[in-house]
Structure 1
Amino acid sequence: MKRIFFPFTFLLMATTLVVLTACNGGPQAATVTDDAIAVKVQPVTTTRYAPVLKYSGTMASTAEARLSFKIGGIISKIYVKEGDHVVRGQLLATLDLTEINAQVQQASQGVEKVQRDVNRVKNLYNDTVATLEQVQNATTQLQVAEESLRIARFNQQYAQIRATESGTILKKLMNEGEMAGAGSPVFFVNGTAGNDWVIRFGVSDKDWAVLKKGDKAAVEIDAYPTRSFTGIITEIAQGADVASGTYEVEVKVLPNGARFAAGLFSTVQLQPAAEQTVTLVPVEAIAEASDKIGYVYTVNADGKTVTKNKVTIAFLENNKAAIVSGLDSAREVITEGVGYLTDKSVVKVVK
């Protein structure tokens, strides 16, 4: 009986000891240590950079013009067609002058009549039959008639369209026999006399803030796939476009002997002169990202817990991610094991 009782008693005491030890937390602490996620860290570096901005647009001339008649009327004759090259002062189109010439003749006859009235009133005034007021009124009527004749002749002069610059007819918007309204465009002309070619495109408010006149640009044109052209920012809009909400930027392109035409599709790389400070981290440190927002883990001062940092990514280059905000005070970031981490993870840094 004694040989059987002793082992049973010993087993009961051992079981009780295990239970008490577990309550005191001994094995639990060992379990936490065993569950720690092994991670590796790498130092971060800071540098200054100017962002490279890419936009696209079409080629245009600085001498573009929409030509129209000053007055309305029936188009009598159009002398050019789309694609024609024109020179400054060349006659492009005329209106039917029947009505306009009649207005000029009417105004001219009105001047002659009022002139006779003035002469008659002056003679009566010299004979003390008419008053000075009557002479003055007749003189005023003559001046009004002369100005009406001047207006009619001016309209007669602009009842035709002449090229304001040497260039090319890009678009003919109306045909002979149509009724042209005053100021309604009839031709869209691309002037090439100055050989000034520009690309216009809209930029976001953030990019607008770092751009300025004089910043250089590299231009690639689809029509010349093996060549690169130099550009410079000449105009920056000071207000946003109502329709698109973007700010228009104009880049002047140097042809360097190439032949340009309106509408050529182009890609522009802008290099702003303004620089900003960024933090460079290995790409492996980015746990997750969407657009320019990502998350990076750092080890806290206790060496065991981690912080999930929301960062703004400027660009990716050479296996490095440039962070512009979110890691201001961090010296190291976790690069291995980030796929297993959460903001409540316990880690063990492996050298």
Structure 2
Amino acid sequence: MVRVPSPALSAAVLSGLAVLFMGVLLSGCSGQASAASPSAVSGDTPVRVRLAPVVVEEVTRPIRASGALAGKQEVRLSTKVGGVVQTVAIDEGQKARRGQVLAALDLSEIGPQVAQAREAREKAARDLERVKKLHADQVATLAQLQDATTGYEVADAAWRAASFNQRQATVVAPSDGRILKRMVEPGEVVSPGQPLFLFASTEGGWVVRVGLADRDVVRVKEGDAAEVTLDAYPGRAFRARVSEVASAATPGVGTAEVELALELGRPGGDGQGGSEAPPRLLSGLSAKAVVTPSERQSVRLVPVEALLEGDGEVASVFTLAEDGRTARRQRVRVAFLSAGDGRAALSEGPGAGARVITEGVAFLRDGQSVTVVEASSGGATSRR
């Protein structure tokens, strides 16, 4: 048998279900409202920020490059004539003194040529003296005297050429220096002009040769200051000066070579006040250089903290609008970063007098309301 609920009970059940349904519905609506409230509040609540002025200054933009250490005077030593190498008197890496014999060819072929030229010269000299006496006695004609004079001059020139070739068969050190590379052994047959040694003179000092892009090389002049660091001596800096600037770009590379002369002989030239021992330098050591051009340029300086979303040279900053309560986003172009004082130099961006936001940048959007926080001696004060 089926029991039919009373009308009062049915009304009570229906009323309870209605109340439960409304509670669930209101709970869902309140959840949606609470989820949306942070975004609504973030759009209306001002963000606390700090400002810094845009400063326009005349500065020098440093140029960074890498290169290799080399002797100022590096030459390939060779002989003018070919022949068989008889002796090699020095090894690779050894020091050499000016005039020291480094290698010599066998003179078995060159020696007789010099002797033959000497004998021919002496015979021509005797013939000239005899013709001079005969011409004085009016026995020889003027033409005969002129022919004898010409014969002597030709023989003398041949003797001097043979003597010169004989001297060039010996390789000597042109100055004090070091053998960087030895490319010959005794008994080898060498051709005229074939390099036998790579020689670095210590009298010309040490240089670092770097390749600069066209936009950088036009700002560099001879005499500009530079600082060089070597991978072989980490943490040690060497003073240098621009000694040469190429007038043409290197074919196939597109960069121009700039030569930096190290000032090792000056006090503090090693960047340590001269307290450390002179470094042992080798040709080919990897080097990094920072050149400071004497030319100055006007740039706009802002703290690095103000930059946002940098992509190469392009970035953004937020500036304070004229109403003093709104942040405006502006695109800028970064010329370089100054590691010494933590500022960025802008070639394009807000002008002098503008104020950029340095703190709270990550929470801003274009048109965002802001509250400027200023530091004071008694603590932090705020102004809308």
* Shorter-chain TM-score above 0.5: yes
TM alignment of 1:88-107, pairs within 5 A: 88-107=98-117
Change (3 A) 1:307 1:266: closer
Mapping for residues 43-122 of structure 1, pairs under 5 Å: 44-46=53-55, 47-115=57-125, 117-118=127-128, 121-122=131-132
1-side partners of 2:74 and 2:207: how far apart?
11
- The one-letter code of the counterpart of 1:222 is D
Residue 324 (structure 1) aligns with = 347
Pair 48,122 (structure 1): closer, same or farther in 2 beyond 3 Å: closer
Which amino acid letter does the alignment assign opposite residue 209 of structure 2?
Answer: R
Distance 1:214 1:125, change over 3 A: closer
Q: Deviations over 1:242-269 (max 9, x none)?
A: 2332231223131543232223333333
State the Cα RMSD in Å.
3.6
Distance 1:348 1:114 in 2: 105
Change in CA separation of 1:241 and 1:339 when aligned onto 2, cut-off 3 Å: farther
Q: CA deviation at 1:78?
A: 1.1
Specify the code of the residue in structure 1 equivalent to 2:110.
I
Task: Give the Cα separation in 2 of the matches to 1:310 and 1:45.
Answer: 12
Residue type of the alignment partner of 1:262: L
**Matched residues in 2 for 1:70 and 1:314: separation?**
53
User: Could you tell me the percent identity over the aligned residues?
Assistant: 33
- Quick check: 2:96–2:177 contact (8 Å CA) kept in 1? yes
Size of the aligned set, in residue pairs, is 312
Spell out the pairing of 1:1-351 with structure 2 (5 A cutoff). 42=51, 44-46=53-55, 47-115=57-125, 117-118=127-128, 121-122=131-132, 125=135, 130-192=140-202, 194=203, 196-226=205-235, 228-243=236-251, 244=253, 245-254=255-264, 256=274, 257-263=277-283, 264-283=285-304, 285-296=306-317, 309-315=331-337, 317=339, 320-328=343-351, 331-333=354-356, 347-351=367-371
Task: Compute the displacement of 1:95 (Å).
Answer: 1.0
Please tell me the residue identity of whatever aligns with 1:242. Answer: T
Stretch deviating more after TM superposition (326-335 or 92-101): 326-335
Listed as ranges, the gaps of 5+ residues in structure 1 are 1-34
Partner secondary structure for residue 185 of structure 2: coil
Query: In terms of mean alpha carbon deviation, does 67-76 or 215-224 score higher?
Result: 215-224
Alpha-carbon spacing, 1:221–1:145, altered in 2? closer, same or farther (3 Å): same
Q: Supply the distance in 1 between the matched residues of 2:327 and 2:69 (Cα, whole angstroms).
A: 56
Q: What is the CA-CA distance between 1:151 and the residue it aligns to?
A: 1.1
- State which drifts further: 196-205 or 142-151: 196-205
TM-score, normalization by structure 2: 0.67
2:83 counterpart letter in structure 1: G
Displacement, 1:210?
A: 3.3
CA distance in 2, matches of 1:240, 1:218: 24
Aligned-partner Cα distance in 1 for 2:257–2:178: 29
Listed one character per residue, the Cα deviations across residues 187-219 of structure 1 (whole Å, up to 9, x for unaligned) are 112233x48333222223333333333333333
Deviates more, 1:65-74 or 1:92-101: 65-74
TM-score by length of 1: 0.73
Q: What's the offset of the Cα at 1:140? A: 1.0
Q: One-letter code of the match for 1:281?
A: V
Letter of the 2:193 partner, please give it.
G
> Does the CA contact (< 8 Å) of 1:66 and 1:189 recur in 2?
yes
